[in-house]
Chain A
């Protein structure tokens, strides 16, 4: 009887523990309300988890920083890559919360899902204390992302034209391998060398995993890097077309890649090359 109760208790405890973990994970998908964090509590968490890379002054010069590339974010500049807000504006608390939760793939910034939702929110509040810009400016207004347009061959073809016309290939390369003519000389805003994203490396990127995350990247730009905002140049429909095309550059069996593979099998020779325009003379 005692043993049975003991097992039952263990099971219950185990289930509860799993529920708590799942709860944290489920919380990670949730949005952080603006202002939800407590900076004072965040300070203790920062000293435990973040100071080694981001430094006691939040300037990205922690003792680990000298050995890692890319360098940790300098919070004193209040300049962030992954935002839902226009270029040149501050991100929302939720943007920072998603960044802490998701981490930055291909960098030393891990996913901080093991921390509770409350701890991550407190960290967001605390890192904002490193720059006075947060006291003088409000975050930008998040851009409106209209509903995704239907995924069709025409959409991908048009996205390919956008990739050519907006000259994405100049940095990202004609096949998105990060080997465009301008790629080797790119530097970030601290004059450190930086690579353009190589689409063939996978399906995750620093600012997320979904099509909406991709959309946001080029419609808000990655501040502090060479990646500009194309918000002034692209209509939402074109932007979704570009998203659909970009997915075909990634090595995965995405719906976009499947449709594109079918098209290319029949029409590969009809596609104009991506790259410098060799049909017109350069003296025009």
Chain B
């Protein structure tokens, strides 16, 4: 009786060790999801921005600055599309490093900042003019703060996942986004439209692609251990 008891305990312990070990076992490597984002139809034309009202910014640009709401690359690729795991996420790392957002030459750099809820965001004004940072949040709080030249960076966080448009009221051509996402598995498509989400333990995932004019698309994909399935997104581009 006593021996049986010890034996079952030992068995349970062994099962526990094997199970937890399996999740970290090096012989079950993480997979990745990669693919390409492309478009069909007619792309809208990006327009040249007139910065004459802000000479100190206009002077920083030798060639015309174009709007950035839909950027096409070679072979009908779409650049800067946000691709992320929207469901079934595993193995995501917490967002603790500060994400930097610059106002430079009266433009937001980067155009889209990807961060997690409660991840520190540091907003810098690198220009000779004041800017006001006005994230038009709906799920998060909408605030509006002035940042004169030479002011220290503003340190902010958002508590909820949301795609937040950002604008400067003083310079109406400035448009950007904060993509606050509940995962570290998030990226943007490159110039050739390709993207890759790495470090995905085996499981069933929903991958979502978001383009600020053309909307959102999702696909489900199963990742086995070490698998690298391909997921492509095709957006319908419209000229207006």
Minimal beta-carbon separation of A111 from chain B (angstroms): 27
Looking at the complex, which one of A182, A224, A229 makes contact with B146 (CB distance below 8 Å)?
A229
Given A167-B170, A282-B59: A221 and B145 interface contact (C-beta under 8 Å): yes
The segment from B33-41, B126-134, B185-193, B203-211 found at the interface with A is: B126-134
**Interchain CB contact under 8 A, A228 and B171:** no
Interface string of A81-104 (1 = CB under 8 A from B): 000001111000000000000000
Quick one: which of A257-284 are within 8 Å of B by CB?
276, 282-284
A62 CA to B155 CA, complexed, in Å: 39
Number of chain A residues whose Cβ lies closer than 8 Å to a Cβ of chain B: 34
Stretch of B12-20, B111-119, B136-144, B223-231 lying at the A interface: B136-144
How close is A246's CB to chain B, nearest CB, in angstroms? 16
- Indicate whether A189 sits within 8 Å of B143 (C-beta atoms), given known contacts A170-B130, A182-B170, A284-B128: no
Q: Complex formed: what's the CA distance from A209 to B162 in Å?
A: 38
A187-B169, A232-B147 are known contacts; what are 19 more A-B pairs with Cβ within 8 Å? A87-B143, A88-B143, A165-B148, A166-B130, A167-B130, A182-B170, A182-B171, A182-B172, A223-B142, A223-B143, A225-B144, A226-B132, A229-B143, A233-B147, A276-B55, A282-B56, A282-B59, A283-B59, A284-B128
Interface contact A88-B141, CB-CB below 8 Å? yes
CA of A186 to CA of B170 in the docked complex: distance in angstroms? 7
Cross-chain contact B132 with A228 (CB below 8 angstroms): yes
* A233 in contact with B151 (CB, 8 Å): yes
A187 vs B134: C-alpha distance in the bound complex, in angstroms?
A: 12
Contact, CB under 8 Å: A232 / B55 = no
**Interface residues of B toward A: which range?**
20 to 34
* A residues in contact (CB < 8 Å) with B: 77, 79, 86-89, 165-167, 170-171, 181-182, 185-187, 189, 221-233, 276, 282-284
Task: Report B144 CB to chain A, min CB distance, Å.
Answer: 4
| A226, A227, A229 pick with most chain B CB within 10 angstroms | A226
Contacts of A79 in B (CB 8 A): 142
| Cα of A282 to Cα of B143 in the assembled complex, Å | 30
* Interchain CB contact (< 8 A) of B144 among A171, A186, A221: A221
Determine the chain B residues whose CB is within 8 A of the CB of A87 once the complex forms.
Answer: 143-145
Q: How many A-B residue pairs have CB under 8 A?
A: 84
The answer to whether A226 touches B144 (Cβ under 8 A) is yes
Q: Which of B128, B133, B134, B170 contacts A171 (CB 8 A)?
A: B170
> Does residue B53 face the partner (Cβ distance < 8 Å to A)?
yes
Give B58-77 as 1s and 0s: 1 = Cβ < 8 Å from A's Cβ atoms. 11000000000000000000
Residue B23, interface by CB 8 Å:
no
Complex Cα spacing A221 to B154, Å: 16
Q: 0/1 per residue, B151-188, Cβ < 8 Å to A?
A: 10010000000000000011110000000000000000
> Could you pull out 15 A-B pairs where Cβ atoms are within 8 angstroms?
A77-B142, A87-B143, A88-B143, A167-B129, A182-B53, A187-B172, A223-B142, A223-B144, A224-B142, A225-B144, A228-B133, A232-B145, A233-B148, A276-B55, A282-B58
Distance between Cα atoms of A232 and B143 in the complex (Å): 13
* A185 touching B172, Cβ below 8 Å: yes
Nearest Cβ on chain B to A27's Cβ, whole angstroms: 32
Q: How far is the CA of A223 from the CA of B135 in the complex (A)?
A: 11
Contact B142 A228, beta carbon cutoff 8 Å: no
User: How many Å lie between the Cα of A228 and that of B148 in the bound state?
Assistant: 12
Contact B145 A181 (CB under 8 A): no
B133: A residues at CB distance < 8 A? 228
Report chain B residues within 8 Å CB of A189: 134, 136, 142
Q: Could you tell me if A170 and B128 are in contact, using CB atoms closer than 8 angstroms?
A: no
Instruction: Assess the A166–B148 pair: CB atoms within 8 A.
Output: yes
Nearest Cβ on chain B to A141's Cβ, whole angstroms: 14
